[in-house]
Chain A
Amino acid sequence: MAIERLTDARKAELVEQLGELKPKERMQIERHAMPEQEAEQRRNNFNEVPFGYSEETAMLEAARCIQCKKPTCIDGCPVNIDIPAFIKLIAEGNFRGAIRKMKETNMLPAICGRVCPQETQCEEVCVLGKKYKPVAIGRLERFIADWERESGEVDIPEVAPSTGKKVAVVGAGPAGLTVAIDCARFGHKVEVFEALHKPGGVLVYGIPEFRLPKAIVNAEVDVLKRMGVDIHYNYVVGKLESVNELLERFDAVFIGTGAGLPWFMGIPGENLIGVYSANEYRTRSNLMRAFDFPAYDTPTLKGGVVVTVGGGNVAMDSARTALRLGADRSILVYRRSRVEMPARVEEVEHAEHEGVEFHLLTNPIRCMGDEKGRVKQIECIKMELGEPDDSGRRRPVPMPGSEYIMDVNTVVIAIGNGPNPLIPQTTGDIETKKWGNIIADDKCRTTKRGVFAGGDIVLGAATVILAMGAGRDAAKAINEYFETGKWTGEEPEPEPEPNAKA
Chain B
Amino acid sequence: MHKILKTEVLGPDVYRMVVEAEKIAKKRKAGQFIILRIDEFGERIPLTIAGADPEAGTITLIFQTVGKTTEHLATLKVGDHISDLVGPLGKPTHIENFGTAICVGGGIGIAPLHPITKALKEAGNRIISIIGARSKDLLILEDEMHEVSDELIVCTDDGSYGEKALVTEPLKRILDSGTQVNVCVAIGPPIMMKFVAKTTEPYELQTLVSLNSIMIDGTGMCGGCRVDVGGETRFTCVDGPEFDGHKVDFDLLMKRLDAYKEHERASYERWREEHTEECKLLEEMQKVQQDGN
Choose the segment among B101-109, B163-171, B250-258 that binds chain A (4+ C-beta atoms closer than 8 Å): B250-258
**B180 in the interface (beta carbon within 8 A):** no
**Complex Cα–Cα for A284 and B215 (A):** 10
A271 adjacent to B233 (CB under 8 Å):
yes
Please name all residues of chain B whose beta carbon is closer than 8 Å to the beta carbon of A296 when the two chains form the complex: 41, 43
**Complex Cα–Cα for A394 and B27 (A):** 50
Which residue of chain A has its CB nearest to the CB of B91? A425
**A334 in the interface (beta carbon within 8 A):** no
Please name all residues of chain B whose beta carbon is closer than 8 Å to the beta carbon of A284 when the two chains form the complex: 216
A297 adjacent to B267 (CB under 8 Å):
yes
**A261 in the interface (beta carbon within 8 A):** yes
B263 adjacent to A236 (CB under 8 Å):
no
**Nearest Cβ distance between residue B64 and chain A, in whole angstroms?**
18
The count of A-to-B residue pairs whose CB atoms sit within 8 angstroms is 115
A283 adjacent to B217 (CB under 8 Å):
yes
Q: Mark A253-271, 1 if CB is under 8 A from B, else 0.
A: 0000000111010000011
**A372 in the interface (beta carbon within 8 A):** yes
A197 adjacent to B270 (CB under 8 Å):
no
Q: Is the interface of A mostly helix, strand, loop or mixed?
A: loop
Within 8 A of B (CB), among A400-446: 420-422, 425
Which residue of chain B has its CB nearest to the CB of A194? B86
Within 8 A of B (CB), among A215-263: 233-236, 239-241, 260-262
Name which of B44, B85, B219, B267 has the most chain A CB atoms within 10 A of its CB: B219
A273 adjacent to B256 (CB under 8 Å):
yes
Please name all residues of chain B whose beta carbon is closer than 8 Å to the beta carbon of A276 when the two chains form the complex: 223-224
**A164 in the interface (beta carbon within 8 A):** no
**A295 in the interface (beta carbon within 8 A):** yes
Within 8 A of A (CB), among B10-67: 23-24, 27, 37, 41-44
A279 adjacent to B222 (CB under 8 Å):
yes
Within 8 A of A (CB), among B195-228: 216-224, 226-228
**A294 in the interface (beta carbon within 8 A):** yes
**Nearest Cβ distance between residue A203 and chain B, in whole angstroms?**
14
B68 adjacent to A280 (CB under 8 Å):
no
Q: A197-B83, A236-B89 are in contact. Are A279 and B221 (CB under 8 A)?
A: yes
With beta carbons under 8 angstroms apart, the residue of A241, A264, A270, A420 that contacts B221 is A420
B256 adjacent to A239 (CB under 8 Å):
no
Q: A195-B86, A236-B87, A299-B263 are in contact. Are A288 and B43 (CB under 8 A)?
A: yes
**Complex Cα–Cα for A271 and B221 (A):** 16
**Nearest Cβ distance between residue B292 and chain A, in whole angstroms?**
32
With beta carbons under 8 angstroms apart, the residue of A241, A262, A422 that contacts B223 is A262
A239 adjacent to B89 (CB under 8 Å):
yes
**A132 in the interface (beta carbon within 8 A):** no
Which residue of chain B has its CB nearest to the CB of A371? B255
With beta carbons under 8 angstroms apart, the residue of B24, B86, B264 that contacts A299 is B264
B263 adjacent to A240 (CB under 8 Å):
no
**A345 in the interface (beta carbon within 8 A):** no
A239 adjacent to B27 (CB under 8 Å):
yes
Which residue of chain A has its CB nearest to the CB of B270? A294
Please name all residues of chain B whose beta carbon is closer than 8 Å to the beta carbon of A234 when the two chains form the complex: 84-86
Q: Mark A165-181, 1 if CB is under 8 A from B, else 0.
A: 00000000000000000
**Complex Cα–Cα for A280 and B259 (A):** 14
**Nearest Cβ distance between residue A205 and chain B, in whole angstroms?**
7
Which residue of chain A has its CB nearest to the CB of B259? A273
Which residue of chain A has its CB nearest to the CB of B2? A234
With beta carbons under 8 angstroms apart, the residue of A196, A239, A241 that contacts B217 is A196
Please name all residues of chain A whose beta carbon is closer than 8 Å to the beta carbon of B252 when the two chains form the complex: 271, 373
B263 adjacent to A293 (CB under 8 Å):
yes
With beta carbons under 8 angstroms apart, the residue of A240, A274, A283, A421 that contacts B88 is A240
Residues of B within 8 A of A (CB): 23-24, 27, 37, 41-44, 68-69, 83-89, 216-224, 226-228, 233, 238, 252, 255-256, 258-260, 263-264, 266-267, 270
- Name 20 extra pairs, CB < 8 A, besides A260-B217, A297-B43: A205-B217, A233-B84, A234-B84, A234-B85, A236-B218, A240-B27, A260-B219, A260-B221, A261-B221, A262-B223, A276-B224, A277-B223, A279-B222, A280-B223, A283-B216, A283-B217, A294-B266, A295-B41, A296-B41, A425-B238
- Closest A-B pairs by Cβ, 5 of them: A373-B255, A299-B263, A297-B43, A260-B221, A234-B86
Q: Write 12 A-B pairs (CB below 8 A) sorted by A numbering.
A: A236-B218, A239-B87, A240-B23, A240-B87, A240-B88, A260-B220, A262-B222, A273-B255, A288-B43, A294-B270, A296-B43, A299-B263
